[in-house]
Structure 1
Amino acid sequence: MTQYGTQDNELRAMKPPLTYKLLFGTIVACLGSIQYGYHIAELNAPEQFLVCSKIKPNYDYIDCIPMSDSQFGLVTSMFSVGGLIGSLFIGYYSQKYGRRRTSLYISLIALVGSLVMSQSRTFTMILLGRLIVGISCGAGIVITPMYINEIAPMEWKGTLGSMNQLSINLGILLTQALALGWANATQWRNLLYVGALLGLTNWIGWYIVSESPKWLVLNNNVNDAITYLVTLRQCTIDVAKQEIKQWTEGEEETDTTEVTFWQYITSHIYLKPRLAITLLLVGQQFSGINSIIFYGVKIVSQLMSQYAILINFGISITNVVVTFFAGVVIDRSGRKPLLIISTLVMGIMSLIISISILNNLTHWLVIGLFGYIIAFALGLGPIPFLIIGELSSVETISQAQSYGTVCNWIATFAVGYGFPIVNDIIGGYTYIIFSAMTLVLMLCIRQYIPETKGKRNSTEVWQNH
């Protein structure tokens, strides 16, 4: 009896298997994040070939698009405008029509937007395509972490959830890799065609996968949820029923009717999770990460222009590799410790970057940049998006994901637009500001962010916090 009892305990301690269905569903969802990363960077490399000041005498489909610098800047930033729109409204539609059905339409929108951009001959046409693509990516970046959180077993939520940030980084890296061969006067449109191909592939994937079991339960379709869970987990019906029961334990007295976005952002009931989400999603951007992602080449060029592109490419590869490693660490160490360590190291590295720029210390600048990216990729990069679903009750997950992503878009725009202005005024001292913001965020994480590792639902998460 003792022997068998020990074996049973060991079996219970084992993680559930990463089944084919679970991995495939995660990959399909992550294609939305890959598109997000891809479209962020798709116009950077071919800018000099894409834009021309006036129509050439032999202007045709292959040639550049007549635009001024300010018009091209508007085209680039229109992605953020579309992203904000998509993130703001997708919570309602994903709850009403389901994660899968909504994502099918999102993929088609991405396909259309990319095709419009690839066929563009005028500023207005490419601006419209960029807006459409932004809407699809803004919606997709909400759906991806939400769907993964809802299909992943508790023991794999951190690992699989970190794939969202990894996929964003892979999308950026894919753009840079393809640009090495296609960023020229005759092939730059191929980069935009790949965006359309990604949208089509994502549509096919969503057509194959099943609906989120949690959404099915929330919409009183428990039988289908059980059926899908059995295939997701390769388990018995009884085990699937037990997992579904765990999702709602402690929340049984709560009205599980989906709240509206306005109810979520105004109700005192959701104050604690809303504050935690705001701190993490805004703090992620105010740490200064996109000053490096958007303007890394310019920063490095101040001290070593000949190596700027190479170092920036190395930063992107490092971001991908470390984010992948973080997926293994998150479920072992927990979310909160990694967030605290990540923000502390980022604050120190930001200070090193500032000192390096002000004193022309080239080697220390490289150390600061790579140390900063490694620290970000281990914690503040992957955790904020995956933790939203863990902090939120069943009836608020979709609106919480929308709210967090909207906060992130607004903060991204603020840093992306404001950094060049502030940097022109105070130079390297800008990173002292980022250092201070990151260290303040670390203190806020200690105070307001609960640990979600191993917690079955939001009631357990907030029970003693």
Structure 2
Amino acid sequence: MASGLRQFVHDVSPYLVLLIVISTLGSLQFGYHLAELNAPQDVITCQKKSISTRIAALFSSLSSGDAHTPDTADCIPMDNAAFAVVSSTFTIGGLVGALGAGPISSARGRLLAMRLTSVLFVIGSLVETVARSVPVMSIGRLLSGAGAGASTVIVPLYISEIAPPKERGFFGVMTQISINVGILATQTLGYFLSYGSAWRWILGTGVVIGGAQGLGLSLVPESPAWLAANKSVSRAKRTLQRIRGKDYDIEEEVASWGSDVVIPEEEGLLDGAADADVNPTTTRRGSTAGSATKGGRKSGHHGFLQVVRDPDTRPAIVAVIGIMFAQQLCGINSIIMYSVSLLADLLPISSALLTIVISAINLIVTVSCSPLPDKLGRKTCLLLSIAGQGTSALCLALSIIFGIKILSAVTVLFFVAAFAVGLGPVPFMMASELVGQEAVGATQSWCLAANYIATFLVAQFFPIINAALNERFGRAGWVYFVFAALAVCSGLFVSWKVPETKGKKDADEVWGRTRRLD
């Protein structure tokens, strides 16, 4: 363990840590905006002024409105169906952002794509903050969702390309950790600011975070792997050396570019030839150089549909779509997005306070389990997580039906902890491990498109199905039998269709195929 810690300290420079912190502000905002309407739902929709009269009394002097009587100047009248539309609009924007992020980040670079997401977050958050109608709020959620969708494509990709090879599994978890930080932050603010018009400060905080991300990105360099594939290896080497530190030997890492993304015109630079930048017109993919090969296989940027048609990448697309659907259909967002209204009056403590505890446990378990994908393997973590969530869903259904409040509270915590073991962090890192560099952008887009479609299904239809089942059977909890059944299906899919990527050096080794010589 001591030697592993020494290796980690040697590989990780302070500058790399700074880059990880700045880049993950994008994924942090995904979690922030995903859960921002949970705690203040009843206040925003004019159903009541405060989820905690004690908090309302404490802060009433700061609010311009009456802290106890509904005032449509402070809220936006909407029923459950309208609120579901506002919530799910975020996922539609996320789908658009996820689909657009892959081509933009592949053609124009990861850095430009991240800068665009910060602009979307600032504008979207500002529109949400000033909204006084359902359509305007939905537009803000759409823009924020587009930024979030793009971020969850770009951030894991950027991190995988700047992290040291031996620590990629660990740093890959940083995406999910930052998402959990965002969820915890917004749930905590929601507990204290869910009264009067103070809920608008929750949404306005997104403007501040987006602005901080935009400023921080001025310190962030382009991905060395993208530079090697699209600009020049000499510039990529200088950037990588800056990230790793001046005393770090980058030659082994640079050599991997030769078989993965580096094109023939620049291979001489890897051997210490000219250190000047090469003319981009002779090195950009899509030109004559775009026919470079990886072990004899044609390279170049694969398009969104091309990765589906290619028999080498199609199994990876099926795998990433499946695990992203599993991530959502096992039920995590029924807790993250609707826990305050879902668990109200079912638990022995305030559902809003329990939501903060849930978010904190999600973060703590995710951080604690961050070494597991590298130790146990990605697939093992996924299966453990699915089994834990399926079991928790079954127990939660029974505990709610039979009115065992303490068991319901404990089961919710286990439900979230099981998610953090595998389904939370692993899907975001696997998309870049199942395919070669030429298909990473398109695969990440498929990955996150599936994620947002599945999230939309949960956000839009969970309240409807839950209400229908409650009415049919006369009590709450039955919807979690559905999630338990979906967990069984997810476990079978992962067992049959998802390969292990731990310890595999490239996609060919992951899928056990011989490189094709064309």
Give the TM-score taking structure 1 as reference length. Answer: 0.89
Q: Which piece of structure 1 moves more, 370-379 or 38-47?
A: 38-47
* Counterpart residue number, 2:144: 133
- 1:347 and 1:65 map into 2 onto residues whose CA distance is 37
Secondary structure of the 2:338 match is helix
Post-superposition shift, 1:181? 3.4
1:448 aligns with 2:497: yes
* Cα offsets for 1:372-411 (capped at 9, x unmatched): 2111101111101111101121111011111110101111
**Gaps in structure 1 of 5+ consecutive residues:** 1-9
User: Given the alignment, which residue of 16, 19, 32 partners 2:13?
Assistant: 19
Kindly indicate whether the alpha-carbon contact (under 8 Å) linking 1:29 and 1:143 is maintained by their aligned counterparts in 2: no
Greater CA drift, 30-39 or 76-85:
76-85
Cα displacement string for residues 330-370 of structure 1 (whole angstroms, at most 9, x for unaligned residues): 22222122112221222222221122122222232223222
CA separation of 1:73 and 1:444: change in aligned 2, threshold 3 A: closer
Deviation at 1:186, TM superposition (A): 4.2
Q: Distance in 2 between the 1:132 and 1:424 partners?
A: 29
What percent identity do the matched residue pairs reach? 33
1:90-146 C-alpha deviation (Å, 9 max, x unpaired): 111111110001211221121122222223344443332222111111111111111
1:316 counterpart letter in structure 2: S
SS in 2 for 1:231: helix
C-alpha spacing 1:356/1:325, structure 2 compared with 1 (3 Å): same
Which one is further off, 227-236 or 153-162?
227-236
Secondary structure of the equivalent of 1:232?
A: helix
Alignment partner for residue 362 of structure 1, among 394, 405, 409? Answer: 405
Shift of 1:50: 3.8
Residues of 2 paired with 1:417 and 1:187: CA distance?
26
1:416 is displaced (CA, Å) by 2.1
Find the aligned partners of 2:465 and 2:31 in 1 and give their Cα distance. 26
Counterpart residue number, 1:390 = 433
Q: Is the 8 A contact 1:277 1:388 kept in 2?
A: yes
Distance 1:189 1:350, change over 3 A: closer
Shift of 1:464: 6.1
Name the counterpart of 1:111. Answer: 122
Shift of 1:417: 2.1
Asked if 2 retains the 8 angstrom alpha-carbon contact of 1:423 and 1:430, the reply is yes
Give the conservation status (yes or no) of the 8 Å contact 1:353–1:368.
yes
Q: How does 1:56-455 map to 2 (within 5 A)?
A: 63-69=73-79, 70-234=81-245, 235-236=248-249, 238-245=251-258, 247=260, 251-301=294-344, 303-304=346-347, 306-426=349-469, 427-455=476-504
User: Do the aligned partners of residues 49 and 357 (structure 1) sit closer, same or farther apart at CA in structure 2, a change above 3 Å counting?
Assistant: closer
The 8 Å contact of residues 246 and 456 in structure 1, kept in 2 or not, is answered as no
- Of residues 33, 37, 48, the one that matches 2:27 is 33
Secondary structure of the corresponding residue to residue 198 of structure 2: coil
2: distance between equivalents of 1:110 and 1:145? 18
**1:51 Cα deviation from its structure 2 partner:** 4.4
Contact 1:326/1:377 (8 A) holds in 2: yes
How many pairs are equivalent? 451
The answer to whether the 8 A contact 1:63-1:185 is kept is no
Cα distance change on mapping 1:241 and 1:270 into 2, 3 Å: closer
The structure-2 alpha-carbon separation of the partners of 1:246 and 1:322, relative to structure 1 and needing over 3 Å to count, comes to farther
Q: Aligned partners of 2:418, 2:46: CA distance in 1, in Å?
A: 40
CA distance in 1, matches of 2:340, 2:190: 16
Displacement of 1:261 in angstroms is 0.8
Q: Which residue number corresponds to residue 458 of structure 1?
A: 507
> 1:6 — aligned with what?
none
The residue type paired with residue 64 of structure 1 is D
Q: Per residue, is there more helix in 1 or in 2?
A: 1
Distance 2:22 2:396 in 1: 38
Contact 1:296 1:312 in 2 (8 A): yes
How far off is 1:277 after superposition?
0.5
Q: 1:311 to 1:337 in 2, by over 3 A?
A: same
**Structure 1 residue 305 displacement after superposition:** 6.1
- 2-structure distance, mates of 1:422, 1:343: 22
CA 1:452 to 1:66, structure 2 compared with 1: closer, same or farther past 3 Å? closer
Contact 1:339 1:383 in 2 (8 A): yes
What does the per-residue CA deviation read over 1:442-464, in whole Å, with 9 as the maximum and x for residues that have no partner?
23222222221222221222226
Q: Report the secondary structure of 1:428's partner residue.
A: coil
